[in-house]
Amino acid sequence: MQKTKIIATIGPSSEKISTLKKMVLAGMDTVRLNISHRDHAYHSELIKNIRQVAETLKQPISIILDLQGPKIRTGIVTEEGIEIKKGDKVILIPENVNIPAKATHFYIPIQFPNLYKYIKNEQVVYVDDATVELKTIKVKRKAIECEVMNDGNIKSNKGLNFPGADIKCPALSTKDLNDLKFAIKNKVDFVALSYIKNEQDVFALRKHILKLSKQNGFKLTDFKKPAERGKWSGAHTRIIAKIERPQAVKNFDKILEASDAIMVARGDLGIEMPLEDLPFVQKEIIAKCLVVAKPVIVATQMLNSMITQPYPTRAEISDIANAIIDGTDAIMLSGETATGKYPVKTIRVMDKVAREAEQNKINEAEEKKQITNYSSTTRAIAKNCKSLAEESNAKAIICTTTSGFTARIIASLKPTQPVIALSPSDTIQRQLNLSWGVIPYYLKKVQSFDRFIIDLKKLIIKEKIAKPGEVIIICTGHPLGYLGQTNLIKVEIL
């Protein structure tokens, strides 16, 4: 299997159980649900279908629920959208304001009522990933009059970007909080927050997750908080910070410390900042995530042409391969699998490219950079696990993990061998499905080390990870069952 994890957004093209099965068999590891579209009933059915497929195939599938965040979107317009031509005048207006009966301009409802406070004349406005460009002419009361700069179509719930504007709005809207309640109740593995500006946005989301988890009766693991783990807690649902604003790039180090995972959301980021800077920002973010062993996702337009075409462009293939060579944990599909014509085929293309790209060794300078940041016992053990596995020609590195940290640390070194993560938690098992090279399995707790070795060997042989007579590297804590106590490496011959 490919070591780089593949995330697919689920929508009308992929919502059926039969299609989901094909996507998992083609290489999909994680699903993304975009809560900005459709209601809770729809997403509840999707979650049910995903978990049914996971049970049928006996394979963990992690679920990411993408919160809308303070992203400004168009309101509800007609199903066919509003056709506009270059030179037309349109008026952006809060969606709760009545449109004049004898309107002489096109009126576009906006979901953020206070937008007019932050917009000035000559402000560029991009609609729907910059497929439509507007330029403001004047702001009068709550109405923003704009000139259309190109032909296009404006539809409901499409994102708007305002490069250079400092628009102040809360990190979590009322809708976000309702959607978060839905996420916690349905035990999704990750929530992704859009348009983060700084670490305070992450802390605010964390506070709500902890509160809602307790209200739903979930037992939160009482994690110790050494500095190496950053400021995350043992909440059931973990946080992916989406980097899609220049402010987030500026404050990235603190956002990374506060979050559980990172998404390089190149769609909005490429609109909000100079396009030519994007490749270098992506590389820097991936490198920093590797150092602290937190999963990083590269997203947006990876196979955009396959929304309508059966084959990708050469540039798209190079884009995927370069992200993998840079060290990303996961690559993500959006419209390609949500509404595209070829949801299964796009997964197969990604899987094939990932397998080939993974044959290339990670840049040696970056590898050295990672190693110099290892100071804790767990980090030192991870480094030695990789060395032992390579020198003994081991088939796999096996680690036990209560929080997922040990598995992520080993995987961040990009070993040749798969990292088999054994956890007594179904939640941790699914969450580890987002980390490069990690194959998570459930293994119940045992009191005896000898019993653990027996159970481990049975699992390894049953799953055909290694055969009798072959070498595996075991990384665990002794005595068993203590959180944060990875202190033992064992070379075992099956």
Nearest to 268 by CA among 160, 148, 134: 160
| 253 and 346 part of one domain | yes
CA distances to 204, 349, 436, 460 from 58, in Å: 36, 23, 20, 16
Q: What is the CATH number of the domain that holds 404?
A: 3.40.1380.20
pLDDT at 224: 39
Shared-domain flag, residues 381 and 310:
no
Beta partners for 236? none
Question: Using CA atoms, how far apart are residues 92 and 106, in angstroms rounded to an integer?
Answer: 9
Q: Which residues contact 263 (CB under 8 A, 6 or more apart)?
A: 192, 240, 241, 242, 243, 296, 297, 299, 332
Is 458 a member of any domain?
Answer: yes
% of the chain exceeding 90 in pLDDT? 62
| pLDDT of 480 | 66
Claim to verify: residue 49 and residue 92 sit in the same structural domain:
no
Is 176 in the same domain as 157? no
Tell me if 286 sits within 8 A of 280, measured CB to CB: no
| Tokens encoding 398 | 């096996």
Asked if residue 87 is part of any domain, the answer here is yes
In a domain, 380, yes or no: yes
Contacts with 284 (C-beta within 8 Å, 6 or more apart), sequence order: none
Query: Domain containing 353 — which CATH number?
Result: 3.20.20.60
Q: Specify whether the CB–CB gap between 366 and 469 falls below 8 A.
A: no
In degrees, to the nearest 5, what angle opens at C-alpha 428 toward C-alphas 345 and 400?
A: 110
CA angle 37, 61, 3 (to 5 degrees): 115
CA distances from 187 to 183, 238, 422, 427 (A): 6, 11, 20, 9
The predicted pLDDT at position 374 comes to: 46
Quick one: 246 and 345 in the same domain? yes
As for how many domains the chain has, the answer is 3
Residues 195 and 226 in one domain: yes
Long-range contacts of 10-16 (CB under 8 A, 24+ apart): 10/46, 10/50, 10/337, 10/338, 11/37, 11/337, 11/338, 11/339, 12/338, 12/339, 13/337, 13/338, 13/339, 13/340, 13/341, 13/343, 14/337, 14/338, 14/343, 15/45, 15/46, 15/49, 16/49
Which of 223-227, 347-351, 402-406 comes out lowest in average pLDDT?
Answer: 223-227
Report yes or no on 175 lying in a domain: yes
Domain shared by 227 and 256, yes or no: yes
pLDDT at residue number 70: 78
Domain-ending residue, one of 331, 357, 383: 357
Mean pLDDT value across the chain: 88
The residue ranges of DSSP E strands in 74-115, in sequence order, are: 82-84, 89-94, 106-110
Predicted pLDDT at 165: 84
Confidence at residue 361, expressed as pLDDT on a 0 to 100 scale: 54
In a domain, 120, yes or no: yes
Residue 339 domain-assigned (yes or no): yes
Q: Domain of residue 424: give its range.
A: 374-493
CATH number at residue 102: 2.40.33.10
pLDDT at residue 261, rounded to an integer: 96
What is residue 483's predicted lDDT score, i.e. its pLDDT? 55
Whether pLDDT at 99 is above 90: no
- With respect to residue 166, please indicate whether it lies within any of the assigned structural domains: no
Residues noted as catalytic = 32, 73, 242, 300
- Note whether residue 368 is domain-resident: no
Model confidence band, residue 372 (pLDDT cutoffs 50, 70, 90): very low
Percent of residues, the chain, with pLDDT higher than 70:
91
**Cα-only R_g, the chain:** 24
